[in-house]
Structures are given as C-alpha cells and as structure tokens.
Amino acid sequence: MAQRYEVEAWVNPTAWDDETRAREVVDAILASGSDDEAEWVRIAGGDGAAQANADERARDRAEVFVADFLREYRDAEARLAEARTALHDRLRYGMRQGHTAYRLAQVTGLSQSMLAKIRRGWRR
C-alpha cells in the first residue's frame, strides 16, 4: 500500500484549483488501499484515456523493475536446455555403447523409464 507522501506527490494538491478537493482525492486513494495508478486516476476523476496511460506507465515500470532478472532467467533457461540436450545425447550414446539403463539411472538419478524415453529420442 502506498504511503501518504507518495499519494500526495502523485496528486500534487498545490497544482489543483481546489486544493480541498485534491486532499479529498488523496484521502480516497489511501482509503482504497490500491497501489494501481489506473485506479488512482479513476478515483481522481480521470477519463478512460488517462486510465489507459496510467496502465501503460505501470506496465513500463514493472518491465523495467524485472528486466535484468528476467533476461538472466531466460538466459539460464536457454543454457539449461542446451545442457539437457547434451546430456540426453550423451546418454543415448552411452546406451548404444552398452551402458545399461539401470547403471545410468544409478549415476544420474533419472528413472529407467525416463532413460528409455531418452533412448527413443524424447526431447523436452
């Protein structure tokens, strides 16, 4: 939930013609318990376009907030997929060379049924 000073900075009562009305808007926003800027615009009496703009700004802020971590996460997923493919290829090769699914299951922690799928070419 937003703090009063954050809501007051957003509403900026000194810029309103009716400062009392602006203070009422601040109180109404705080009473709503919402952190959604589009909801704040609605409470302040903004139209649909203002709410859409607020939604877009909120989305942009959220995107910036997680961008670096999301990129790192997606990079890690890609590296994991490459490593999984390499492991599956190596397991298939090992089974062709005579290693049993039983022994490979012991050392990898994979089930024999999963190794059978991998041997048949299963890809995740």
For 55-110, what is each residue's pLDDT tens digit? Answer: 788 788 889 999 999 999 999 999 999 999 999 999 999 999 999 999 999 999 99
pLDDT at 44 over 90: no
Stretch 26-55: mean pLDDT: 83
Per-residue pLDDT at 124: 67
Do 100 and 110 contact (CB within 8 A), yes or no? no
Do 122 and 95 contact (CB within 8 A), yes or no? no
Q: Tell me the pLDDT tens digit for each residue of 18-36.
A: 888 888 889 999 999 988 8
The separation between CA 89 and the C-alpha centre of its own chain, rounded to angstroms, equals: 32
pTM: 0.51
Q: What is the 3-state secondary structure (H, E, C) of the chain?
A: CCCHHHHHHHHCHHHCCCHHHHHHHHHHHHHHCCCCHHHHHHHHCCCHHHHHHHHHHHHHHHHHHHHHHHHHHHHHHHHHHHHHHHHHHHHHHHHHCCCCHHHHHHHHCCCHHHHHHHHCCCCC
Cα–Cα distance measured from residue 120 to residue 124, given in angstroms and rounded to the nearest whole number: 13
Measured over all CA atoms, what is the biggest interatomic distance in the chain, rounded to whole angstroms? Answer: 84
